[in-house]
Amino acid sequence: MSSDESIEKTVKETTAGLIQYSPEGLVPFGPVHPALKEPEYFKIILEGEKIVQIIPRIGYAHRGIERATQDRTWVQAIYLVERICGICSFAHSLGFVQTVESLTEYEVPRRARYIRLLIAEMERIHSHLLWLGLVGYWTGFDTLFMWIWRDRERVLDLIEMITGNRVHKSYATITGVRRDLPENIERHVQSAMKYLSERVVFYKEIVNTEATILTRTKGVGWISPDVAIRLCPVGPLLRCMGFKRDVRVDDPYAAYDEIVPEVKTSTDSDILSLLNLRLEEIEDSIRMILDAITAIPPGPVKTTVPRTIPKGDAMGHVEAPRGELFYFVRSDGGNKPTRVKIRTPTLANILTATEMLKGHTLADVPVVLTGMDPCFGCMDRLTVIDLDEGKEWQINGEQLRRYGIEWYKNNKRE
């Protein structure tokens, strides 16, 4: 698509009506319509049974962290930044620390880079398993949810053995990691990975044969790749459309230049392919962890943690479990950051996910929105506006989940 008219036409088709949706005869509304007193997370507009537009509003988790980093020292800012998200907290701290390191002259020791890879891949496994369990939960397959979260505990045990905590690890620091691996950790890592690789084979079989999951995910949420690429998605959502993009391979960091990931893609851009893609990524992570734990070199785990960072602008990105996580840091030579800008992968994917839902029914909303792997709070509260009957009502996440399960028992998607 190189001509300007076709670009403009694509833009009108995709973002038209994002806010100023006004069908003939009905009231147009914006993000702060006077009749809707409560700010909602998602406003869903229905015509009959089909969704015509979804309008997201994302102030629910805004806490003012970018401003708060300016009042903290460099090391204190690491602990603040990792609490942006509990599921990918190591990715946040790694992204911040790597960006700050590129402003200094220090080199990260090889052993530290391997350890960073280990923890980053373990976090990827834990995040993908968490997501898979949630898909089971949303589609009514509670047993799958319980099984997967039980298996996820094995990874959390490993993380706790190495870093001391399950969720907020506080493990990365400027120029390295804070402490070394414990003795005899290889034995625990190998037994946990062996157990998990058997379980992943089992889950792949379930996901591809179980009717509960297939009816709700096969063919659901399809979007044309040419349209989607202009909306700038990242992560597994981008890879399930056939684009081979992964920050670990395009711009290697930590030890990814020595232990190279295999980037998996798929070409049917629906939710079922996302499920398979994430399961394959777990298998690849298991392989990388086993390679890293046998090849890890001896040496120090950090160089020196500086108090002040030289003046300059730096940018860096990492592949968090959900996609590309970007950091921009500006330093004025002092002991506090001047500006930290963070772009989380969920923000980049919201536009694509809402476009995927056009033409689907309300029962598909939980599965497709979960497909882009958002944070929990996203689904807490939604307003549904039915254009045909001219009424609106509120629904919360749990009610939507039950509605979806009931709908699929009694109806079929065309």
The residues facing 315 across adjacent strands are 328
| Least spacing, CB of residue 18 vs another protein, in Å | 6
| Interface region with another protein, contact rule CB under 8 A, candidates 52-60, 212-220, 286-294, 383-391 | 52-60
Size of the site for another protein (CB under 8 A): 77
| 376 touching another protein, by CB under 8 A | yes
Contact 347, 339 (CB under 8 A): no
Q: Are strands 381-386 and 42-47 parallel, antiparallel or unpaired?
A: parallel
Query: Quick check: helix, strand or coil at residue 304?
Result: coil
Given 6, 79, 186, 294, the residue binding another protein (CB under 8 A): 79
Nearer of residues 14 and 163 to another protein, judged by Cβ: 14
378 vs 380: CA distance, rounded Å: 6
Which one of 61-69, 113-121, 198-206, 264-272 is the stretch in contact with another protein (CB under 8 A)? 61-69
* 348 is a contact residue toward another protein (CB under 8 A): yes
Classify burial at 244, counting beta carbons within 10 Å of its beta carbon; exposed 0-12, middle 13-18, buried 19 or more: exposed
Binding mask 94-133 toward another protein (x if CB under 8 A, else -) reads: ------------------------------------x---
Whole-number Å distance between alpha carbons of 226 and 241: 10
Closer CB to another protein, 83 or 413, in the complex: 83
For residue 299, which of 109, 66, 90, 26 has the smallest C-alpha distance?
A: 109
Structure tokens belonging to residue 331: 């330093």
Question: Which CB atom, from 149 or from 407, has the smaller least distance to another protein?
Answer: 149
Site for another protein in 275-314 (CB under 8 A): none
- Count Cβ atoms within 10 A of the Cβ of residue 282 and give its class: 0-12 exposed, 13-18 middle, 19 or more buried: buried
Question: Using CB under 8 A, which of 6, 26, 28, 67 touches another protein?
Answer: 67
Whose Cβ is closer to another protein: residue 178's or residue 245's? 245
Least CB distance from residue 53 to another protein, whole Å? 13
Q: Which of 110, 179, 230, 413 binds another protein (CB under 8 A)?
A: 230
Task: Check residue 68 for interaction with another protein (CB under 8 A).
Answer: yes
All residues at 6 or more sequence positions from 18 whose CB lies less than 8 Å from its CB, including other chains? 53, 55
Strands 391-396 and 50-56, sheet pairing: unpaired
For the CA atoms of 202, 237, 269, 278, the dihedral, rounded to the nearest 10 degrees, stands at -10
Part in contact with another protein (CB under 8 A); list of ranges 108-116, 194-202, 215-223, 227-235: 227-235
Please say which residue, 63 or 194, places its beta carbon nearer to another protein: 63
